[in-house]
C-alpha cells in the first residue's frame, strides 16, 4: 500500500469473537452515545422522500449508521463494507428489519484494493467511527478513492474522533468526558487488558480535524464543512462537484 504502519492490531481486535461479542453487548450504550449523530448524518444526506438511491457505508461494522439512513430514507439501499466477518455476522441480525435493502461486502480499508462487489458509482458514502484507525497517508488516499466513487453531487460524511493539537484543549476534553462518564476514569486508570488494547488501537492514528479537512479539499471535494462537533467527536465531509 506504500505507507509505513505499525502491526495491524486492528485486525486482531475486530476479528476476535470475544471482542465482537462484547461490542454487540454494548449496542445500547453506543446508541445512547452516538445514535443522535447517526440520525443527524441521515438528515444531512440530501435525498428526497421518494428518491431511490444507493449509499456506501465503509467500515460499517454492525451497521449502526446504515440503519439510521435506511430508516430515514425508505427507498434507499445500502452497501456495507467491513473487513471482519464476525462484525458482519453480528450486523446481519441488527439489520434484519431492512432485509432486501442492504448487502455486506468484505473490504479491508487499510489494504486499499476495492472489491468489484462495491458499485463503481454511488449517491453517498458514509464512514462512522472507523477512519481514525487508518494512518494519515491512508486517510488521504481513501478520501480520494471515495470522491472517485461518488456520482456528481454525491455527498461524503464522516463521523469520527479527532485529536486536539493544543494540550490545554485536550485536557479540557478529558475533564468533561470524565465528569459525564465516571467509568471513563476507571477505564483510563485501571483498564482491563482488552480495554487497554482497544484504547491503544483507538488512539494511535487519530488526526487533527483541520488536517483531515485539508485532505478532503485536496481530494477534490466541494463544500467541505464541519456539520457537528462536540469535544473530540465531529461530523464532517463534503460533496463531489458537478462538472460545468
Over residues 116-174, the pLDDT tens digits come to 999 999 999 999 999 999 999 999 999 999 999 999 999 999 999 999 999 999 999 99
Q: Are 66 and 128 in contact (CB under 8 A)?
A: no
- Sign of torsion over alpha carbons 22, 194, 131, 2: negative
| pLDDT > 50? residue 19 | yes
Sign of CA dihedral 184, 20, 91, 56: positive
Q: What would the mean pLDDT of 210-232 be, rounded to a whole number?
A: 98
How large is the average pLDDT for residues 13-32?
62
The DSSP code for 196 is H
In Å, the largest CA–CA distance within the chain is: 57
pTM value > 0.75 = yes
H-only helix segments in 150-192: 167-180, 182-189
What's the burial of 2, exposed, middle or buried (CB within 10 Å: 0-12/13-18/19+)?
exposed
What would the mean pLDDT of 197-216 be, rounded to a whole number? 88
Predicted local confidence at residue 191, as pLDDT: 80
- Asked if residue 27 has pLDDT above 70, the reply is no
pLDDT, residue 5, reads 43
Domain boundaries, the chain: 9-163+206-239
Q: Who wins on pLDDT, 122 or 112? A: 122
Mark 162-178 as b/e (b = at least 16 C-beta within 10 Å).
Answer: bbbeeeeeeeebbeeee
Give the whole-number percent of the chain exceeding pLDDT 90.
Answer: 69
Average pLDDT, the chain: 89
Residue with cell 448524518: 41
CATH classification code of 9-163+206-239: 3.40.50.150
Amino acid at each position: 500500500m506504500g505507507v509505513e504502519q505499525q502491526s495491524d492490531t486492528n485486525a486482531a481486535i475486530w476479528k476476535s469473537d470475544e471482542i465482537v461479542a462484547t461490542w454487540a453487548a454494548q449496542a445500547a450504550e453506543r446508541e445512547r452515545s452516538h445514535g443522535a449523530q447517526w440520525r443527524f448524518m441521515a438528515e444531512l444526506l440530501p435525498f428526497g422522500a421518494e428518491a431511490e438511491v444507493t449509499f456506501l457505508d465503509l467500515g460499517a461494522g454492525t451497521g449502526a449508521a446504515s440503519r439510521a439512513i435506511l430508516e430515514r430514507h425508505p427507498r434507499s439501499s445500502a452497501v456495507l463494507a467491513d473487513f471482519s466477518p464476525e462484525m458482519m455476522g453480528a450486523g446481519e441480525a441488527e439489520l434484519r428489519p431492512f432485509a432486501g435493502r442492504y448487502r455486506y461486502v468484505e473490504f479491508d480499508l487499510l489494504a486499499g484494493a476495492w472489491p468489484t462487489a462495491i458499485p463503481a458509482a454511488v449517491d453517498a458514502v458514509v464512514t462512522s467511527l472507523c477512519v481514525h484507525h487508518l494512518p494519515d497517508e491512508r486517510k488521504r488516499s481513501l478520501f480520494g478513492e471515495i470522491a472517485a466513487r461518488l456520482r456528481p453531487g454525491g455527498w461524503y460524511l464522516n463521523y469520527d474522533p479527532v485529536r486536539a493539537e493544543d494540550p490545554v484543549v485536550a485536557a479540557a476534553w478529558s475533564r468533561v468526558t470524565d465528569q459525564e462518564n465516571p467509568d471513563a476514569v476507571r477505564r483510563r486508570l485501571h483498564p482491563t487488558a482488552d480495554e487497554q488494547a482497544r484504547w491503544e488501537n483507538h488512539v494511535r492514528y487519530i488526526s487533527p480535524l483541520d488536517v483531515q479537512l485539508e485532505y478532503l479539499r485536496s481530494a477534490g471535494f466541494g463544500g467541505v464543512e464541519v456539520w457537528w462537533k462536540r469535544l473530540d467527536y465531529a461530523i464532517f465531509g463534503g460533496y463531489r462537484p458537478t462538472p460545468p
